[in-house]
Each structure stands twice: as C-alpha cells, then as structure tokens.
Amino acid sequence: MTPWTRLAEVLAREKLDALVLSGLPNIRYLTGFTGSSALLLATRQGAVFFTDGRYRLQAAEQVQGAKVVVARGALVTALLFSVKRRRLRRLGFESRRANYDFYAALRAGLPGIRLRPTAGVIEQLRTVKSEDEIVALRRSVRLNSAVFEAGLRQVQVGRSEREVADRIEYLMRRRGGDGPAFETIVAAGLRSALPHAKPTHNLLKKNEFIIIDQGVILDGYSSDMTRTVALGGLGQRARRVYHVVLEAQLAAIAAVRPGIQAAEVDRQARMVLQKHGLEKNFVHSTGHGVGLEIHEPPRLGRREKTRLEAGMVITIEPGVYLEGLGGVRIEDMVLVTALGCEILTPTPKELRVL
C-alpha cells in the first residue's frame, strides 16, 4: 500500500474530506519535494501541492502524486482557493506543524468549514519504512560509520573535543553527506557524564571515557550512532560500567521484534542496569525512530505502549552517567524485521582503547 492509499484510509476513518499539510518532512515523505516552501492539500480523491516561483522547476521534477500549483502570492491564499473550489467541508490540519498565523488564515478564509487539529497522522505512516527508505537509511548508516572510523584518527591526546567534532562534521560533507543530522557530541572525561554535552575546547586526555555521538543526513535520511572509546587503559570500575551498558544494549536489541511494546524493549535495558545498581544513572529513554527526521516516533521510553512493527527503524542507546567518573552510551540503529531485527550499524562495540 502506498502512503497515499494509507492516507486516504485515515481520512475516511477520521471523517475528513482533506488534510492540510504544512510540515516539510511530511510533505517530502508524500511527494518527494526537497525544497523549503510548500503546502499540501491531500483530499480523498487526490492531492494538490503548492510552492512559490523559486521552486517551479524543482517541483515539476520532484513532486509525485500531486498536482503542482505555483502560487503567485502567499501559498495559503492559493490553498484556500483550492479548498473552496473543491467544496471541501471538513478539513484537518497539522496542529504541531502549523503556526498560529497559518491557522488564523485558514480560519478566516474558510467560514463555515470545519477545521480539525490533527497530530501525528503522517508521522504515524512514516514509522514503517518502505524498501526505498530502508535502502536510503542503510546508506546513511554506512556513511556515518565510515566517517566515525576516519574521525577516530583525530582522537589523540592534546586534541580538543571541538577539533574532533569539527573534523567529523567536515568529513560528513566531504564524503557526500548533506551535513550532520544533529550537533555532533564529543564529550571526554567528566563531561561524558552529561548526556547532551556540547563539544568544548577541553583537550582529550589519557585514561578517560570519550563519548562520540554522531549522525549524518544523506539524501534526506538521517543516521545516528554513539560509541564510547578511551585513549589508553581505563580503571576497573570504568571498564565494568562499559560492559554493563553494552550488556544492556545487547539485551534491548535481543528483545526487538514485531509486536513487542516499545516500553518492554526499554525495560530490558533497564533490568540489566538494575542488576548492577546502575538503573538510576540511565536518565533518558532507550531509543527513537529515525528517518527523514532524526527523532521520529516511536519513542522507546518507559511508558510507550506502541507495538513495534516490521519495517520500523529505531535506535537502541542505553547510557549510564556517573558524576565524577564519566559516562558511557552505546547506540546502534536497528531495523525491525519479520522475525526480530537486523542491526544496521556495522561499527564494532567492544571497548576501543586507542
């Protein structure tokens, strides 16, 4: 079933004549358009895509499955005209991806028409990836791992976190990526205990954890990987923490299969940490979907009832953060398959001492 067919089913079920899409990743998902100015009116009978004059050529080349309208003035004005001409009566719009001004323009321009805020309709369709999307995600993951290996050469005593992060992001572009999927994290020593540390000018030292969390965008699709490495040997406690996190990560991956609740995968990681008294030091959720955006549904958190489905692509990334010692996070991307899962990330996970 194409996304368009699935969308038509959702519209029928929700008793909507059409959905107004203003979120660019959702519009890209449905139409293939990669530009920065677009609206989409998706009716049960077909879709109309709106852009401005700058994108005339690009829209003609890229947009699939929708009629293209190049608006002379505001896109929303062209869209209002289309809604009225088609006599649509019940219209959904994306409440998280529409700003108030856009909503107000719809409300004022469509008297008598029912406007219903919707959330996550397309995001829900996007959770299960198509074959083409899986190919794109595999390529993105492979590029990210290749850049990681090349970047490791910069991990040397006396280099700063920033230098390493800058080099990684440079390599992402040099090797054909669109750019980083998020701000690359390089966090060494005590700073590795901060889950969202920004790279600083602090210099790398021996015998400390270094967390590297990086993702690249390639042809629109994001990847996401974390490895924790060290320059020179680590103390016994640090090595123990590393292996506990790795065990937790492997346990969570082992649980991934169609039908399992996201919360249950998260629980598998937590149970391992709990056994070692480290559960309180795992302060985030176990993972998230990845695709056209770096953070997508499903979330693999403690209370997420979503059941995994074959074709979902998610991260598995438990971490332990100890003030005064440092932190460890190990993250792979995995594809949910009919029988279980496939680990997409090819980078080894044994503790690397550089």
**β-strands 39-43, 18-21: how paired?**
antiparallel
DSSP 198: P
169 is an interface residue for a second copy by CB under 8 A: yes
60 is an interface residue for a second copy by CB under 8 A: no
99 is an interface residue for a second copy by CB under 8 A: yes
Please identify which residue in 104, 135, 157, 353 interacts with a second copy, judged by CB under 8 A. Answer: 104
Subset of 106-125 contacting a second copy (CB under 8 A)? 117, 119
72 is an interface residue for a second copy by CB under 8 A: no
| Dihedral pair phi/psi, residue 297, rounded to 5° | -65, 155
Binding region for a second copy (CB under 8 A) out of 157-165, 239-247, 297-305, 317-325: 157-165
- Work out the angle at residue 340's Cα, subtended by the Cα atoms of residues 338 and 344, and round it to the nearest 5 degrees: 100
**Residue 228: half-sphere exposure toward Cβ, Cα within 13 Å:** 31
Q: Considering the complex, what minimum distance in angstroms separates the CB of residue 300 from a second copy?
A: 19
Query: What angle, 0 to 180 degrees and rounded to 10, lies between the N-to-C axes of helices 24-31 and 3-13?
Result: 120
Count residues near a second copy (CB under 8 A).
Answer: 23
303 is an interface residue for a second copy by CB under 8 A: no
| Dihedral pair phi/psi, residue 58, rounded to 5° | -60, -40
Q: Residue 243: how many CB atoms within 10 A of its CB? A: 14
Binding region for a second copy (CB under 8 A) out of 75-83, 91-99, 253-261, 267-275: 91-99
Which positions from 325 to 354 touch a second copy by CB under 8 A, shown as an x/- string? ------------------------------
Binding region for a second copy (CB under 8 A) out of 11-19, 169-177, 213-221, 338-346: 169-177
**Residues paired with 70 in a beta bridge:** 51
Q: Which residues have C-beta within 8 Å of that of residue 30, sequence separation ≥ 6?
A: 3, 4, 7, 21, 40, 42, 47, 65, 66, 122
Q: Considering the complex, what minimum distance in angstroms separates the CB of residue 54 from a second copy?
A: 7
95 is an interface residue for a second copy by CB under 8 A: yes
Binding region for a second copy (CB under 8 A) out of 88-96, 237-245, 264-272, 345-353: 88-96
Residue of 286, 115, 144 lying closest to 221 (CA atoms)? 144
Please identify which residue in 6, 71, 77, 166 interacts with a second copy, judged by CB under 8 A. Answer: 166
Cβ nearer to a second copy, comparing 139 with 276 = 139
Does residue 196 contact residue 185 with C-beta atoms inside 8 Å? yes
Q: Considering the complex, what minimum distance in angstroms separates the CB of residue 79 from a second copy?
A: 16
Q: Where are the alpha helices (DSSP H) in 175-276?
A: 236-255, 262-275
Q: Considering the complex, what minimum distance in angstroms separates the CB of residue 184 from a second copy?
A: 10
Residue of 216, 240, 231, 353 lying closest to 290 (CA atoms)? 216
| Dihedral pair phi/psi, residue 298, rounded to 5° | -80, 155
C-alpha 8/C-alpha 334 separation (Å) is 29
Cβ nearer to a second copy, comparing 105 with 320 = 105
54 is an interface residue for a second copy by CB under 8 A: yes
List residues near a second copy by CB under 8 A. 54, 93, 95-104, 117, 119, 162-163, 165-166, 169-170, 173-174, 196
